[in-house]
C-alpha cells in the first residue's frame, strides 16, 4: 500500500502544500488548534522578513522562527520562480541511464532543488541517477528544514543518499575552492536570490566566475534574483566578462519579468497571512525576477 509521501512524489504538489507539509513535520506534536496557534506565532518573524525584503540587502542571518516563516511564505513563490526559469532555460537531460549532477548555491530550504526535481518529473525523466548538492552559508541551520522538505516529497524520487548538503561562503575563495571536485562534475549550477549572501558585487563576480571556469562544456549556469540594481550590475558584468566562454545562441538573459502564482491554502491565509494586515503580512501573489542562463562553450 502506498504511503501519503509516495503519492505526493508521484503526482507532485503545489509549493504551499509542500511547505505546509514540511512545516508539519517540523512541528509533529501539534493538534489542529495548536497548529493554527503556531502559525500565528510566526507573524512577527514574517513581518521582520518582509521588512528586510523591502531593502536591497537582506542579510543571511535568520532566527529559527524566521527560517520557518521563510519556508511557509517564500519557499512556494521561489520554487515557482525556479520552475519557470528552468523551463525557459530548456535544460538538456541526459539519457536516464547516465548520471546528472546539479548544484544549488544559497540553497536555503531547497526551493530551486525542488523545482529541478519537478522538471525531472514533468519530463518523465528517471531521477534515480540524479545527484543534488545543496550549498549554503548556513547549511547547518537550514538542515532540519531541508530534511523536512525532502521528506515531504519535494525532491520526488531522488534517492536520499544522492542529496548532499555543504557549507560554502561565496565571499571566501578558499571556501569555494574546497568544492571544486563537485562543480567540475555538474551539468547544472543554479543560484537563486544569492546576492543577499554576498553583500559585495566583486565577491559575487569572483566566486561565480571561478565556479564557471570549472564547469565542463555544455554545462549550464542559471542565476535568478529579484531585479534590483545589484542584480543588473552582476548579470551585466558576467555577460561581459564571459562573452567568449558561453554559447551565444544558448544563453538567455531576462531583464525583468513578472508572473502570478497560486495563492496559499485557507489555513495559511487565516493564521499566518491576513488581508486585514499591512503588506508585510499579506501573501504574495506575484513576483518579478531577472535571470541569466549561460551554456559553457
User: Can you list the domains of the chain with their CATH numbers?
Assistant: 4-295 (3.40.50.150)
pLDDT score of 23 more than 50: yes
What are the φ and ψ backbone dihedral angles of 234, each rounded to 5 degrees? -65, -45
Q: Residues 154, 82: contact at Cβ < 8 Å?
A: no
Rounded to 5 degrees, what angle do the CA atoms 78, 143, 196 make?
45
Q: Look at residue 123 in the predicted model and tell me its pLDDT.
A: 80
Q: How many CB atoms lie within 10 A of CB 282?
A: 14
Q: Buried b / exposed e across 89-112, counting CB within 10 Å, b at 16+?
A: bebeeeeeeeebbbbbbbbbbbbb
Rounded to 5 degrees, what angle do the CA atoms 99, 104, 109 make?
120
Q: Buried b / exposed e across 220-229, counting CB within 10 Å, b at 16+?
A: bbbbbbbbee
Q: What is the mean pLDDT of residues 52-59?
A: 65
Per-residue confidence band for 94, with pLDDT thresholds at 50, 70 and 90: confident
Per-residue confidence band for 193, with pLDDT thresholds at 50, 70 and 90: confident
First to last CA, the chain: 48
Helices (H), the chain: 4-11, 15-26, 32-41, 43-52, 64-73, 75-89, 111-122, 139-151, 173-177, 180-184, 201-214, 229-241, 266-271
Tell the residue number behind the cell numbers 523536512, with chain if given.
148
Instruction: Name the burial class of residue 185, with classes exposed (0-12), middle (13-18) and buried (19+) by CB atoms within 10 angstroms of its CB.
Output: middle
Q: Look at residue 56 in the predicted model and tell me its pLDDT.
A: 56
Strand order from edge to edge, sheet including 188-192: 163-167, 130-136, 100-105, 188-192, 220-225, 286-295, 252-260
pLDDT in tens, 96-136: 667 889 999 999 999 999 999 988 888 877 778 899 999 99
Distance CA 115, CA 293 (A): 16
Amino acid at each position: 500500500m502506498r504511503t501519503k509521501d509516495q503519492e505526493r512524489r508521484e503526482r507532485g504538489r503545489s509549493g504551499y502544500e509542500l511547505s505546509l507539509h514540511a512545516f508539519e513535520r517540523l512541528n509533529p506534536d501539534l493538534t489542529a488548534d495548536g497548529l493554527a496557534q503556531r502559525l500565528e506565532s510566526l507573524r512577527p518573524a514574517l513581518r521582520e522578513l518582509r521588512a528586510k525584503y523591502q531593502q536591497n540587502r537582506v542579510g543571511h542571518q535568520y532566527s529559527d522562527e524566521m527560517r520557518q516563516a521563510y519556508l511557509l511564505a517564500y519557499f512556494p513563490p521561489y520554487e515557482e520562480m525556479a520552475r519557470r526559469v528552468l523551463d525557459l532555460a530548456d535544460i538538456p537531460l541526459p539519457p536516464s541511464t547516465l548520471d546528472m549532477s546539479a548544484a544549488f548555491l544559497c540553497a536555503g530550504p531547497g526551493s530551486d532543488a525542488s523545482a529541478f526535481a519537478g522538471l525531472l518529473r514533468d519530463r518523465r525523466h528517471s531521477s534515480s541517477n540524479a545527484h543534488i548538492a545543496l550549498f549554503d552559508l548556513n547549511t547547518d541551520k537550514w538542515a532540519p528544514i531541508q530534511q523536512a522538505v525532502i521528506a515531504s516529497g519535494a525532491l520526488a524520487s531522488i534517492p536520499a543518499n544522492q542529496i548532499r548538503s555543504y557549507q560554502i561562503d561565496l565571499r571566501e575563495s578558499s571556501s569555494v575552492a574546497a568544492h571544486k571536485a563537485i562543480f567540475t562534475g555538474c551539468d547544472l549550477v543554479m543560484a537563486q536570490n544569492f546576492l543577499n549572501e554576498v553583500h559585495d558585487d566583486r565577491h559575487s563576480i569572483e566566486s561565480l566566475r571561478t565556479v564557471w571556469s570549472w564547469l565542463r562544456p555544455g554545462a549550464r549556469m542559471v542565476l535568478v534574483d529579484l531585479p534590483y540594481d545589484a542584480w543588473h550590475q552582476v548579470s551585466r558584468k558576467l555577460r561581459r566578462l564571459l562573452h567568449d566562454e558561453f554559447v551565444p545562441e544558448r544563453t538567455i538573459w531576462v531583464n525583468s519579468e513578472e508572473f502570478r502564482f497560486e495563492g496559499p491554502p485557507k489555513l495559511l491565509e487565516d493564521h499566518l497571512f491576513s488581508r486585514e494586515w499591512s503588506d508585510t503580512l499579506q501573501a504574495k501573489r506575484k513576483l518579478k525576477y531577472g535571470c541569466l542562463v549561460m551554456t559553457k562553450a
